[in-house]
Amino acid sequence: MKEERAYYPERVKRAAHLLFFKRGRVPGARSWELKSGLGKEYLKVLTQLDESLKDLDLEVKKVESQILSDYKPGPEGEEESRYFVRLKGTLTPREARMTGWRIDNLAALAACLSLIVSKQGKSERKELEEVMGQKVGRWRALTLTDAFLRSGYLEEDEEGLVKLGWRTRAELDLETLMMLIAESKPKGIIEEGASEAMEASGPEVAAEDVEAERLDDDQASTDA
């Protein structure tokens, strides 16, 4: 038991290095890389790392091989998955600014992903651009589609259809997104509800909401 305690921290550190540092186009590490770097018990090491990362609001996420575009079988022909370290919780709108994505980009990505999911994972690029164009303008929709393709949120297949990319599988909780979209109400209805809630919760909460809204407006205005 004592030996095991001294044995794991070194491997956990090595696992962290393998997962955090980007070595190629896609971050994270393949299962065979982890196996050769950490040994056969790499899954236990990853569980240990996941436990350590909890305090930092991070987690180890496994993405299955069949949904990875860069899938290659391991050296021994075994099935391969890719492991990433990602945020366990979610970001507030204010924190989201740190990621470099603007409100427009996030809105367009939400529209894009929800439409693709509703069409069972594939959609025509033109249709996506039309839907995004309603929110962010036609030209911006064109450039954003390219940006999403480059960053791995989307992928284009041989027939020119757009599907979900590796980054979407790694970062997005699609079930939550679709549930939120399905349950959402148009802005007018939300504002009515919010004003009622504001009256009930007092001026402090209302002030915070106004501040958050202003922040968003700022971010949107820098878009031009």
Partner 1 sequence: MEELIETCNSIENRQFNPFLLDVSEALRIIRRHAGGWQTLQDNLLDMRAITSLARVVGLQSANLRFQSSSLFVDPGMVKQKIGSMSREQLAELLLLSWHPVVELEQLTDASTKEALDYWQQMLSFFERRKRLAAGPFQTPGSMDSPELTRMRVLEEKAFTKRLEELRLEMKEKAGDEKRVEYWSFVRTGKFAQTVLRAQMVSFLVSYGMAVLDRKKEKMFLIPRDPPFASRQGSPLSYPITITQEVVASRAK
Q: Is 93 in the site for partner 1 (CB under 8 A)?
A: yes
State the DSSP code for 160.
S
**Rounded CA gap, 80 and 115, in Å?**
29
- The correct pick among 118, 143, 201, 222 for binding partner 1 (CB under 8 A) is 118
Neighbours of 30 (CB within 10 A): 21
Q: What is the secondary structure of 39-95 as a DSSP string?
A: -TTHHHHHHHHHHHHGGGTEEEEEE-GGG-TT----TTS----EEEEEESS---HHH
Question: What are the tokens at 89?
Answer: 């919780």
**Of residues 49-78, which lie at the interface with partner 1 (CB under 8 A)?**
58-59, 61
Q: Establish if 43 lies at the interface with partner 1 (CB under 8 A).
A: no
Among 3, 4, 187, 224, binds partner 1 (CB under 8 A): 187
Under rule CB under 8 A, residue 177 binds partner 1: yes
Pick from 22, 72, 150, 214: which binds partner 1 (CB under 8 A)? 22
CB 48 within 8 A of CB 34: no
Q: Which residues bind partner 1 (CB under 8 A)?
A: 20-24, 27-28, 58-59, 61, 84-93, 96, 99, 103-104, 106-107, 109-111, 113-115, 117-120, 122-124, 131, 134-136, 159, 161, 167, 170-182, 184, 186-187, 190, 213, 216, 220
